Chains A and B, each alone.
Chain A
Amino acid sequence: MKKSFLSVALAVAATLPLASHAASITLYNAQHEQVVNQLAKDFEQQTGIGVNIRSGEGPALAAQLVAEGSKTPADVYFTENSPELMLLEEKGLLAPVQGATLSVVPGRYSSPGGQWVGVTARENVLAYNTTKVQAPQLPQSLFDLAKPEWKGKVGIAPSDADFLPLVDAVVAAKGEAATLAWLKGLKANAQIFDDDEGVVAAVNRGGVATGIINNYYWDRLHAEIGDSKTRSAVAHFAGGDVGALVNVSGAAVMKAAHNPDGAQKFLAYLVSERAQKLMAQGHISFEYPLHPGVASDPINKPFDQLRPPSLTIQQLGDDSQAGKLLREAGLL
């Protein structure tokens, strides 16, 4: 029986085409697969470098990269969440990004150490159900949502990768004690969802009146279900409120990359005008392109009109503090 097991295993192994050809790169991708497939195809046409893509959830892929260490088959990591990149940078798994690539994007959206480059961004917003709440009743600040009058009327996804940077931002702006008090208020008020997709869908159904999400979740839901079924809208926190935080999605070259040249070329391509236009007009991810010359999808409020809090990527850190506070407040 052992023998037959082995022979089946070997037969299976023989059928798989191993090792890809030299002039290609391997991309670990936690960005939206549809967008990345288009980009990879376009990149190959431009440069002749093929892109092998492994897609997955950001945290699982980041955990996989940490587990693989110096033996990783990946050349490039492209993700929606900068804290994952900060973690990989701290673990010494990333290689410096070429200066020419970094210089395309405004400096505050990339790694302070130059180990990864910001590619696109999105804004933290408040989605609200238009039949349950009217725009004038909406809170001015993120902190208002922890007040008793919002009991049962807020949806949050504290374990979503988008929520942690928000907590970090609150800590950076107001300090730990105020953050904990705010989180405890949210714990009393909020309906807890597993991810932002869940929050925005519930807001639209009327399951909960408002929800803290990143802007593109609402954009995507709206695009998917159309005007007739959209019973929700997006409100922006005004006046530099922490609630209007901008999250960055970025890319990095692995230190152990097999094809570092190809990997650097791919990063340069990602921030190029051509690729940024593809992303901005793809009608799939609805993120803000970080190339200053490329406008975002018209469904979004223009990037230069956003009023994010004045915080740096460094102040936001790698999420470890956020996790601790969320646990203390009983949200995690």
Chain B
Amino acid sequence: MSEAITTAPATQAPTGRAPNPGARSRRSTPRALLAAALAGPLLVLLPLALTFRRALSFGFADAADLLFRPLVGELLVNTLTITVSATLAAAVLGTAVAWFVERTDVPGRRVFALLAAAPLAMPAFVTSYAWVSLSLDLQDFCGAFIVITSAYFPLVYLPVAAALRGLDPALEETARSLGCNRWSTFARVVLPQLRPALLGSMLLVALGVLSEFGAFQLLRFRTFTTEIYAEYRTSFDGGGASLLACVLIVLCLVCLAFEFRVRGRARYERVDRGTRRAAVRHALGRWRWPVAAGFVALNAATLGVPLGMIGYWLTQPGAAAITPADVSPELLFSTTFASLRLGLAAAVVTTLLALPLAYLLVRYPGRLATLLERTTFVAQGVPGLVIALAIVSLAVRALMPLYQGTTLLIVAYAILFLPLALVSVRAALLQAQQRLEETARALGLGWFETLRRVVLPLAGPGLGAAAAMVFIAVVTELNATLLLSPIGTHTLATQVWTDTSTLAFAAAAPYAALLTALSLAASGLLFTFAGKSALAAHSAAPPDGS
């Protein structure tokens, strides 16, 4: 990045001119930044390319046989139905929760605001097992819809709540003074301003649903992802699975293209340029308590059911008799430590990997930046097992000394969860105003000092949120962990898997409880960071340089 100083065109030199969006995109991108930003997308592309190659090696007749069978039609319908409906439901629920918490006087809103983020921390296999034990009618589509929506809506809630907080109250006040009522103000003024946050998060939800396995497996709902696992189970060498994964990659690209089109080129800026003003809270009047009751019901569903299930199994006697060796304080400690260590390392590495790409996106927006950003999202929609096996093939060919070492495992996590970090880091950098950076440079600070003393402190909370999000994803991850961890490593998630796969739920309960506690703590942190970083998230989509 040091090159940037010498190669930067004169117009960008500290002339004290007000930054103008048009000029920004015409600046040439520093090569070092570009190289650093390329690292993430390239890492993501490697396993995807290998998967694609494996699929190509599949004979044409076999491929046709595999793709044009009755079940694939059924899978396509199932996959599309659940993706579209759960994404829309998560969007509505997430936005509603965000609006009530941020903009109304609903009693207990601070507690609800925190609890609404918590389902992120619940491993899907715990949640779906709890729902299945609760009622038999919750299998198939209905159960899948409930579990998935309640698991994914916080992905919408967090950014939308942040955007609401950062929204310029003047816009709403103007609309009201011009005669719009409360509802049409929301629909015509607030909602369009929320669009970038809403669309970005809906994209994450859609891709997450495409590659979800744990929940659908227990709920007997068949999608492309569950079928990819079945393919591995019935043919082992993975050619067919790669082919099906390519179908998923195509579906991902469709989602990405759709979001890109809808997002458009609208601009989202504050009218006032001065200090921030809190928006007025709407009084709910006689609806105060019914809305609060709704929140209680929501929390009972998203948190009460799975936590109740873990609690129930924790109190069941007889666990010790069935699994003599496997619930010891030492093992509890060592698995917790392993989860913490891997989670923290992956959180740091992934956030650092996302930083240059996010910086490129924010300061040098354009086609190239967008292309790189979108590339990282594709891996999000492909099942973890496919990515993990591709990394195995790559590693034994080219990186043998690293194979099944911690370093490669951390890189695998980074590949899987880069988009999660990217979303938060990007939002955080958007709010670190470029003027401050330019002022620092004008006053003689080098790029590194500028980064350390200006950019990072401003973007700090957002980086923390990104790291917390990755941490949660890593500690609940299973596929890459099982295949790529150093031999003998046990994490909380693998321990829960070991025990539930022998139906020893009571033995799994302490690990599940610890896993949930760890993730809940991280989501508490995430919430705190996200709250602090909400200052200017209104501009989540940058002006596109037109």
List residues of chain A with CB under 8 Å of any chain B CB: 1-2, 4-5, 8-10, 12-13, 15-18, 20, 26, 32-34, 37-38, 52-60, 62-64, 66-69, 71-73, 84, 87, 158-161, 164, 191-195, 197-198, 200-202, 205-207, 217, 220-221, 223-224, 226, 283-285, 319-320, 322-323, 326-328, 330-332
Contact = CB atoms under 8 A, between A and B. Distances in A.
Given A53-B488, A159-B234, A207-B139, A4 B503 contact: no
Contacts of A2: 35-36, 39, 356
Interface string B404-417: 11110011000000
Nearest to A330: B70
B136 A59 contact: no
Nearest to B221: A194
B450 interface: no
B472 interface: no
Contacts of A217: 503
Given A160-B233, A327-B71, 8 more contacts: A1-B356, A13-B405, A16-B405, A18-B405, A59-B236, A63-B232, A192-B222, A332-B71
A9 B349 contact: yes
Nearest to A202: B136
A164 B234 contact: yes
Contact of A67 (B218, B389, B488): B389
B326 interface: yes
Interface residues of B, number: 69
B300 interface: no
Given A71-B396, A159-B234, A54 B487 contact: yes
Given A69-B396, A198-B220, A63 B238 contact: yes
Contacts of B352: 1, 4-5, 8
19 contacts: A5-B353, A16-B486, A34-B498, A52-B487, A56-B482, A62-B236, A67-B392, A67-B396, A72-B396, A159-B230, A193-B220, A195-B217, A200-B503, A207-B139, A221-B503, A320-B235, A327-B65, A328-B69, A330-B69
Contacts of B322: 223-224, 283-284
A66 B132 CA distance: 36
Contacts of B505: 224
A281 to B, nearest CB: 11
Given A2-B39, A191-B220, A197-B501, A64 B237 contact: no
A249 B501 CA distance: 17
B345 interface: yes
Contact of A12 (B227, B404, B406): B406
A212 to B, nearest CB: 15
Nearest to B359: A1
B226 interface: yes
Contacts of A16: 405-407, 486
B170 interface: no
Interface string B132-155: 100010010000000000000000
Contact of B136 (A53, A197, A200, A206): A206
Contacts of A5: 39, 349, 352-353
Contact of B406 (A13, A195, A223): A13
B502 A34 contact: yes
- Which 7 A-B pairs have CB atoms at the shortest separation, nearest pair first? A159-B230, A59-B233, A323-B234, A13-B407, A56-B482, A16-B406, A52-B487
B232 A59 contact: yes
A52 B490 CA distance: 12
B503 A192 contact: no
B36 A68 contact: no
A201 B325 CA distance: 25
B232 A15 contact: no
A232 to B, nearest CB: 13
B506 interface: yes
Contacts of A71: 396, 400, 403
With a 10 A CB-CB cut-off, give which of B35, B217, B232, B502 has the most chain A CB atoms.
B502
A217 B502 CA distance: 8
A221 B133 CA distance: 14
Nearest to A88: B236
Nearest to B321: A283
A13 B132 CA distance: 42
A64 B392 contact: yes
A87 B236 contact: yes
B112 to A, nearest CB: 34
B430 interface: no
B483 interface: yes
A275 to B, nearest CB: 16
A198 B139 CA distance: 12
Contacts of B235: 319-320, 323
Nearest to A16: B406
Contacts of A195: 217
B492 to A, nearest CB: 15
A155 B410 CA distance: 40
